[in-house]
């Protein structure tokens, strides 16, 4: 079974709730992912062929779907 990295944080023992999440780092990660996708940073963006295929499966946004032109 894989154990979450949150269990190994040094300050976890002092938290009132052991399952408290580190909000600052979560906000930072979400911001970086959105920023890198919007700015199309090479190697950092989450916008890939697989994600565009997922848009076609799960969303109703025709303008964001991957279009196959045959090449």
Q: Any idea where the domains of the chain sit in the sequence?
A: 5-64
Which pLDDT does position 30 carry in this prediction?
92
Is residue 31 pLDDT above 90, yes or no?
yes
Say which residue, 42 or 12, is predicted with more confidence: 42
Share of the chain above pLDDT 90, in %: 8
Mean per-residue pLDDT, 57-70: 76
Task: With 0.75 as the threshold, say if the pTM is over it.
Answer: no
Could you please report the per-residue DSSP string of the chain? -PPPGGGG-TTGGGSSSTT---HHHHHHHHHHHHHHHHTT-TTT----HHHHHHHHHH---GGGS------
Which pLDDT does position 27 carry in this prediction?
92
């Amino acid at each position: 079974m894989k154990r979450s990295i949150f269990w190994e944080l040094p300050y976890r023992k002092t938290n009132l709730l052991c399952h408290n999440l580190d909000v600052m780092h979560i906000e930072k990660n979400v911001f970086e992912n959105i920023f890198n996708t919007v700015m199309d940073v090479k190697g950092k963006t989450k916008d890939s062929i697989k994600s565009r295929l997922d848009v076609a499966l799960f969303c109703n946004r025709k303008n964001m779907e991957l279009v196959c032109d045959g090449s």
